[in-house]
């Protein structure tokens, strides 16, 4: 009975098609979505020039004309097939492409596994909790738009499209549908895209619902707020397996409004496109084979770079000129990716008139990038594919993340310090401490917990300071009812070119809440005393617990990520006030041993002195909670005429003077006092050298 009623409804809508033509003529002509006259002219010029993208699209379509391709997974095959034929039709005007596209459009409307099986329809949208909104729903909307004018796109099929969309929209927009009202999820991105493409594609068609347009605007407000907060800087919290499609879907709305309507396009409400281009270039490992992916739901291909986002960014009107060029560079210079764009995407997102711009500190904005709760730094410019790359995370929101404080290192085109799992990251496989106790997921971090914070100070090619605060929230149990520590701040300092120092300042609730550091490394470590050595083909990683005294052990984690091991560093003596300093050094694979280093323990501070003959460095951390020192003093025996010094935990944005005098036994006595010679950074770090006279870094890149 329902099927008969639906058919009757479709018939009535089809018969009303002629009566609504006058209304349809008042709308923007088809195609509307992303295919403005200027874009379409560019694509037709590419056809005339026989560009590789057009040849690939044409050859794909020609090889499949007349075939009845099966649907394999979540309507993605028929979605892609519809899009390929529809775009080829728009570019060429060939009705054979148009009619073939209509065949797959009607399959999206009616079928499930094979053309004509009739197993789809009304309830098909419910597959995978509505995930198919992005393929099934969006495919029908854009298919109707791009296939306009194809001989087989009859008024009856157009009416069937709007009738089916009304059914699917009603189900998707239920409050209980997964992802609705949660713009941070990729499901929401799919639901939003189905809604806004319907609101544009079907306007003027019989059965069009103004509610689609109203809802698209409501959903955009949530998306906009997400992009301006959690997406700040150009990131996506779920990670960059689901992220690439989700961000393209979000950016597709203002673009579609611009190309196909007279409504406000909302570009002036975000700067995400330009930020995203720079973020992608920044998150690309120097090897160009990996991508910094610290999302909470990254799928099976965690850390795999993908070019499609940047291809889209290169042609978006809202991406600034430098961002467009950087995006083209990214797409052109990946050493590897798990799969390129679909043929229709490669065609639509390629403009050969846009020249690539090589990334540099000047074009990107610095060698350190920071998002909302994710940051990376590299030791040298993008032209140096051997440089060391450091990656950290501590999201500033209520989160299901359980790797707050994660630190990873790559160097010489090798992964060295990594995470021990390639799928949704769990604390068991992250580089974060275990804190014994009875909190819900003890000794690991909670699955749900309150926000941490991540702030960064940076001076290109000198140092980057990652300040990860409020980490105790990740170890506090359900409803904060069973905390294993009352204070936890992780400070990580990357001293270019090759050293990373991590200071964990943890106040345990009781002596029973013991702390154990765990570090996942790519390769079987050799343990000797307080040091683990990992040797790869091109690089080594030295991992040394400087203080306190620990017992080192290792275990194979190959089952969760091929080739990984976990190094555990367990303090010999349990204490309440845990102050753990770990030193990492990336080096050439031929370097025989770790550079000598010593512990420095001046009053109110702890840290290390890397006793290198050519590039010595001192990194000191204030030990008080939330310290803001206005003076500091320490002594050391130099190994060079000038030593780089970084101090963490001084008063922020404050002027200081440095005095250096001769001490006993060849030592130098260094004092930091209020003054005007140098100024601390925004998050309480300061750097100088011990050359005479003291030299200060004056070119600051500060991040809040």
17 vs 658 pLDDT, higher one: 658
- CA dist 521 and 531 (Å) reads 13
Under 8 Å between Cβ of 483 and 475: yes
pLDDT tier, 304 (very low <50, low <70, confident <90, very high otherwise):
confident
* pLDDT over 80 at 479, yes or no: no
Given a cut of 90, whether residue 300 has pLDDT beyond it is no
Rg (CA), the chain: 29
> Distance between CA 203 and CA 549 in Å, rounded?
70
Predicted pLDDT at 11: 45
Please report the pLDDT score of residue 301 as a whole number: 60
pLDDT of residue 4: 35
pLDDT computed for residue 400 by the predictor: 64
| 463's tokens | 């140092």
| Whole-number Å distance between alpha carbons of 108 and 120 | 8
Which residues lie below 8 Å from residue 657, measured CB to CB, with a gap of 6+?
672, 673, 674, 675, 676, 677, 678
Please tell me the predicted confidence (pLDDT) of residue 427. Answer: 81
- 280 band by pLDDT with thresholds 50, 70 and 90: very high
Nearest to 6 by CA among 100, 121, 155, 138: 121
Residue 114 pLDDT more than 50?
yes
338 pLDDT above the threshold of 80:
yes
**CB-side exposure of 389: number of CA atoms within 13 Å?**
27
Q: Are 651 and 680 in contact (CB under 8 A)?
A: yes
pLDDT surpasses 50 at 23: no
Instruction: Write the DSSP string, 199-257.
Output: HHHTTTSTT--HHHHHHHHHHHHHHHHHHTTTTTTT--TT-TTTHHHHHHHHHHHHHHH
> Average per-residue pLDDT in the chain?
92
Cβ contact 503:491 at 8 Å? yes
Mean pLDDT of 518-530: 97
pLDDT of 245 higher than 80: yes
Q: What is the number of other CB atoms lying within 10 angstroms of the CB of residue 573?
A: 9
Q: Is 300 exposed, middle or buried (0-12, 13-18, 19+ CB in 10 A)?
A: exposed
CA distance 341 to 518: 38
d(C-alpha 547, C-alpha 620), whole Å: 13
| Rounded Cα gap, residues 699 and 262, in angstroms | 46
pLDDT given at position 266: 98
Burial category of 684 from C-beta neighbours within 10 Å (exposed 0-12, middle 13-18, buried 19 and up): buried
Q: CA of 95: how far to CAs of 88, 92, 449, in Å?
A: 10, 9, 56
Rounded-to-integer distance, Cα 114 and Cα 151, Å: 23
Nearest-CA neighbor of 406 among 495, 508, 492?
A: 492
Asked whether the predicted pLDDT for residue 1 surpasses 80, the reply is no
Mean pLDDT throughout 636-643? 95
Structure tokens, 509: 């609730």
pLDDT tier, 694 (very low <50, low <70, confident <90, very high otherwise): very low
Q: How far is residue 504 CA from its own chain's centroid?
A: 25
pLDDT for 398: 60
Confidence grade of residue 229 (pLDDT, cut at 50, 70, 90): very high
CA-wise closest residue to 524 among 499, 500, 558: 558
- Domains defined for the chain, CATH in brackets: 1-175 (no CATH), 370-593 (2.70.98.70), 595-704 (2.60.40)
Kindly indicate the confidence band of residue 18, based on its pLDDT and cuts at 50, 70 and 90: very low
Tokens, residue 702? 């500060």
Q: Which tokens is 643 given?
A: 């030593």
Q: Which of 81, 83, 95, 92 is nearest to 40 (CA)?
A: 92
Q: How confident is the model at residue 425 (pLDDT cuts 50, 70, 90)?
A: low
What pLDDT, on the 0 to 100 scale, is given for residue 268? Answer: 97
User: What's the token pair of residue 465?
Assistant: 């300071």
Is there a contact between 83 and 140 (Cβ–Cβ < 8 Å)? no
N-terminal to C-terminal alpha carbon distance within the chain: 62
| Res 354 pLDDT > 50 | yes
Cβ–Cβ < 8 Å for 440, 448: no
476-501 average pLDDT score:
93
What is the β-pairing status of strands 644-648 and 617-622? Answer: parallel
Alpha carbon 5 to its chain's center: 47
| pTM summary value | 0.92
- Whose structure tokens read 């103004």? 210
Instruction: Give mean pLDDT, residues 158-182.
Output: 97
Which carries the bigger pLDDT value, residue 43 or residue 697? 43
Asked if residue 519 has pLDDT above 90, the reply is yes
pLDDT grade for 218, boundaries at 50, 70 and 90: very high
- Lowest mean pLDDT of 19-28, 307-316, 537-546, name the range: 19-28
- The mean pLDDT value for 641-656 works out to 97
Show Cβ contacts of residue 341 under 8 Å, excluding neighbours closer than 6 positions: 307, 308, 311, 349
pLDDT tens, 127-141? 999 999 999 999 999
Burial of 508 (0-12, 13-18, 19+ CB in 10 A): buried
Q: What is the 3-state secondary structure (H, E, C) of 433-498?
A: CEECCCCCCCCCCCCCECCCEEEEEEECCCEEEEEEECHHHHHCCHHHCCCCEEEEEEEEEEECCC
Q: What integer is the mean pLDDT of 189-209?
A: 97
Average pLDDT (471-476) is 93
**pLDDT (average), residues 450-465:** 95
Would you list the DSSP string of 86-107? HHHHHHH--HHHHHHHHHHHHH
Closest CA to 74 of 160, 139, 162, 166: 139
Give which of 466, 453, 485 is closest to 578, Cα–Cα: 485
| Residue 584 reports pLDDT greater than 90 | yes
Q: Are 376 and 368 in contact (CB under 8 A)?
A: yes
Q: Is residue 293 very low, low, confident or very high in pLDDT (cuts 50, 70, 90)?
A: confident
User: Could you tell me which of 119, 172, 144, 122 has the C-alpha nearest to residue 5?
Assistant: 122
Residue 588 has pLDDT above 90, yes or no: yes
**Collapsed DSSP state (helix, strand, coil) of residue 554:** strand
């Amino acid at each position: 009975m329902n099927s008969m009623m639906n058919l009757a409804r479709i018939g009535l809508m089809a018969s009303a098609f002629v009566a609504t033509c006058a209304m349809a003529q008042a709308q923007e002509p088809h195609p509307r979505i992303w295919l403005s006259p200027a874009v379409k002219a560019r694509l037709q010029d590419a056809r005339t020039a026989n560009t590789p993208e057009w040849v690939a699209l044409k050859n794909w379509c020609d090889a499949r004309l007349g075939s009845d391709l099966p649907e394999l997974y979540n309507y993605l095959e028929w979605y892609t097939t519809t899009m390929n034929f529809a775009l080829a039709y728009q570019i060429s005007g060939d009705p054979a492409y148009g009619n073939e596209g209509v065949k797959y459009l009607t399959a999206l409307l009616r079928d499930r596994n094979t053309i004509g099986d009739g197993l789809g329809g009304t309830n098909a949208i419910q597959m995978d909790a509505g995930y198919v909104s992005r393929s099934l729903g969006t495919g029908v909307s854009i298919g109707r738009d791009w296939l306009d004018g194809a001989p087989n796109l009859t008024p009856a099929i157009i009416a069937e499209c709007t009738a089916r969309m009304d059914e699917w929209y009603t189900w998707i927009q239920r409050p209980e549908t997964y992802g609705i009202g949660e713009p941070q999820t990729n499901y929401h991105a799919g639901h939003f895209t189905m809604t806004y493409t319907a609101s544009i594609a079907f306007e003027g068609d019989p059965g069009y619902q103004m509610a689609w347009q109203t809802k698209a605007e409501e959903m955009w407000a949530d998306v906009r707020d997400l992009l301006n907060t959690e997406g700040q800087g150009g990131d996506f919290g779920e990670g960059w397996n689901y992220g690439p499609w989700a961000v393209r879907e979000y950016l597709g709305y203002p673009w579609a409004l611009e190309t196909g309507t007279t409504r406000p396009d909302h570009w002036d409400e975000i700067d995400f496109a330009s930020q995203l281009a720079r973020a992608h270039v920044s998150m690309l490992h120097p090897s160009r084979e990996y991508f910094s992916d610290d999302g909470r739901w990254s799928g099976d291909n965690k850390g795999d770079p993908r070019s499609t986002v940047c291809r889209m960014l290169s042609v978006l009107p809202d991406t600034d000129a430098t961002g467009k060029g950087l995006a083209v560079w990214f797409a052109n210079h990946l050493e590897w990716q798990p799969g390129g764009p679909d043929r229709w995407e490669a065609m639509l997102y390629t403009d050969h008139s846009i020249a690539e711009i090589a990334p540099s500190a000047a074009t990107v904005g610095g060698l350190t990038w920071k998002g909302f709760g994710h940051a990376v730094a590299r030791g040298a410019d993008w032209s140096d594919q051997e440089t060391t790359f450091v990656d950290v995370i501590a999201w500033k929101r209520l989160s299901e993340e359980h790797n707050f404080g994660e630190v990873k290192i790559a160097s010489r085109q090798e992964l060295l310090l990594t995470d021990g799992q390639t799928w949704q990251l769990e604390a068991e496989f992250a580089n974060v401490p275990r804190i014994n106790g009875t909190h819900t997921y003890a000794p690991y971090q909670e699955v749900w917990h309150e926000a941490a914070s991540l702030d960064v100070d940076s001076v290109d090619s000198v140092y980057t300071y990652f300040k990860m605060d409020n980490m105790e929230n990740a170890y506090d149990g359900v409803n904060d009812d069973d905390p294993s520590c009352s204070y936890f701040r992780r400070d990580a300092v990357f001293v270019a070119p090759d050293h990373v120092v991590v200071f964990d300042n943890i106040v345990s609730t009781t002596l029973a809440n013991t702390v154990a550091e765990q570090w996942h490394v790519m390769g079987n470590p050799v343990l000797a005393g307080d040091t683990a050595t990992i040797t790869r083909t091109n690089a080594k990683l030295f991992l040394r617990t400087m203080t306190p005294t620990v017992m080192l052990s290792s275990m194979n984690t190959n089952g969760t990520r091929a080739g990984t091991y976990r190094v555990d560093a367990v303090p010999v003596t349990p204490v309440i006030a845990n102050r753990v300093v770990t030193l990492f050094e990336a080096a050439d694979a031929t370097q025989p041993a770790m550079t000598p280093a010593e512990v420095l323990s001046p009053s109110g501070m702890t840290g290390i002195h890397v006793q290198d003959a050519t590039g010595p460095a001192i990194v000191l951390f204030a030990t008080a909670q939330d310290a803001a020192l206005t003076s500091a003093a320490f002594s050391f025996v130099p190994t060079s005429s000038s030593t780089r010094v970084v101090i963490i935990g001084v008063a922020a944005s404050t002027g200081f003077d440095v005095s250096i005098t001769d001490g006993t036994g060849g030592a130098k006595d260094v004092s930091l006092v209020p003054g005007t010679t140098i100024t601390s950074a925004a998050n309480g770090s300061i750097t100088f050298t011990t050359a005479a006279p003291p030299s200060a870094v004056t070119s600051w890149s500060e991040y809040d």
